[in-house]
Copies of this chain bind each other. A is one copy, B any other.
Amino acid sequence: MSDVEVYGRQGFGHTLSPEGHIALIIVDFVNGFADPAAFGGGNITQAIANTQHALADARIQGWKVAHSRIVFAENGSDKNIFGLKVPPLTKLHEHEPTSAVVDQLRPIEGELVVRKTAPSAFFNTGLAPWLSQYAVQTVLIAGATTSGCVRATAVDAMSYGFRPFVLEDCVGDRASGPHDASLFDIRQKYGEVMPYSALRTLLVS
């Protein structure tokens, strides 16, 4: 029996439909994750390009938009366990170009930008209260990396009561194995996974 069959027989993999107000969450699409010499590589560049379409629509449709950035203190005071596992992350400081959102997706007025020092864009940030304040029920998730901060954000989105739609062509990873494995897990257990174009037909008339 295939993995998918095992999951299906046990009741996993049901489908969610979009509901209520919508937000687009763009996870860590900053210069450092766009650069293969830093934390990037794989299909991340393409995912950033694809996310431009989703962001353009969000701005036209009036969806809420939030961006996350990893930002550690310059003096090292907030170095945490994540920083012990991946020391170069702690060089992502507030004013380092590596921690700035890529030019193509630069936040505009009214878009939330959350700083974080953990994988999930929800963990100890203002994201969940902000979504609740605006009655958002469905979140579209783009960003990097699929097997890291995107996945953690999708799991938390679901846990916090929001419906996660991971935009398959707008999330990227430095390596394809972890990318595919996390999309499999998300589809089975946490949310929907589809290219933005497929979701667009459901949302934009």
Contacts and interface: CB of A to CB of B under 8 A. Distances in A.
Contacts of A89: 11
Q: Which interface residue of A77, A131, A159, A184 has the most chain B CB atoms within 10 A?
A: A159
A148 to B, nearest CB: 6
B178 A135 contact: no
Given A13-B86, A80-B126, A178-B181, 4 more contacts: A76-B110, A77-B112, A81-B163, A147-B185
A137 interface: yes
Interface of A: 3, 6-7, 10-14, 16, 20-21, 38-39, 41, 73, 75-78, 80-82, 84-89, 109-113, 117-120, 123-126, 128-133, 135-137, 147-148, 152, 155-156, 158-164, 174-175, 177-178, 181-182, 184-185, 188-191
